[in-house]
Amino acid sequence: MTDPATIDLSKDAAARAAVALVENGMKLGLGTGSTAKIFVDRLAERVHDEGMDLRCASTSKATADQARKLGLVVEELDDLGWLDLTIDGADEVDPDLNLIKGGGAAHLREKIVATASDRMVVVADQGKVVECLGKFKLPVEVIPFGWKSTRTHIERALAELEMEGRPIILRERDGNPVLTDESNLILDLALEEIRDPHGLARQLSSIAGVVEHGLFLNICSLAIIGRPDGSVVELLREDLE
């Protein structure tokens, strides 16, 4: 198993490289999760050192609280309008820079913010890079009303894609369902391998009760992958830049 300290060094390397992409005057989307948290720490250091003028939109209450405590300006997305850049973490990154997100239950706001940005850049450690999405359970945000019926529709959709029998797990913490920032539930789909992410995304999006799934397809244009020695590898989708 990878040493957690090594993972943190990797995340820090990616976060530092991402901070270098930020320019004075930008409107910036801030992601959620442990890597995004390190990015916000490093960003705040640079803003204070250089007296940068930034306006940020956050993808979660947790990140908004962190950023404000560090003195960053956080506003409502709708007050900022379009963003120049969003930096966020990911649970899995495939060779096309398609992602699974939502390990922190924030993928709904994360997708809204990322798709309201000129550019989405992911920061992650090497463990997130996969050949095929799906080992990480795919988070699907559903509204609480009738969630068991919604789950049945998801099971049928999986069967149509020849993925029947894959467990669908209601996300819980301390014996209670996890609620998102929008007071919805999360169903985690244990798919193992997603051969047709676009087909699956279409199916899930068509189900009443599904608010948003954690597949981010053709959204991320650059992934900065940190390594324990402090170096980074950049994976680029030029067509999305």
Ligand X SMILES: O=C(CO)[C@H](O)[C@H](O)COP(=O)(O)O
For ligand X, the closer of residues 87 and 207 by Cβ is: 87
Q: What are phi and psi of 25, to 5 degrees?
A: 90, -5
Answer for which of 14, 30, 94, 102 binds ligand X (CB under 6 A) is 102
| By the rule CB under 6 A, 89 interacts with ligand X | yes
Q: Please tell me whether residue 88 binds ligand X under the rule CB under 6 A.
A: yes
Query: Tokens in use for 197?
Result: 């992410």
Residue 209 Cβ vs ligand X, minimum distance, rounded to whole Å: 20
Of 12-20, 64-72, 82-90, 203-211: span binding ligand X (CB under 6 A): 82-90
Token digits of residue 76? 């409502």
Question: Which stretch, 74-82, 84-92, 142-150, 171-179, contacts ligand X (CB under 6 A)?
Answer: 84-92
Cα-based torsion angle of the residue sequence 136, 138, 141, 144 in order, rounded to the nearest 10 degrees: -90
Out of 32, 150, 180, 203, the residue judged to bind ligand X by CB under 6 A? 32
DSSP H/E element including 106: none
Instruction: Out of 57, 90, 93, 157, point to the residue binding ligand X (CB under 6 A).
Output: 90
The question of whether 241 is a catalytic residue gets the answer no
CA distances from 50 to 22, 69, 146, 200 (A): 12, 18, 51, 45
What is the C-alpha separation between 198 and 216, in angstroms, rounded? 10
Cα distance between residue 237 and residue 223, in whole Å: 9
Per the listing, tokens 């309201």 go with 116
- Provide the minimum distance between the beta carbon of 180 and ligand X in the complex, in angstroms, as a whole number: 9
Segment contacting ligand X (CB under 6 A): 64-72, 95-103, 188-196, 232-240?
A: 95-103
Contact flag: residue 33 with ligand X (CB under 6 A)? yes
- Please identify every residue annotated as catalytic: 110
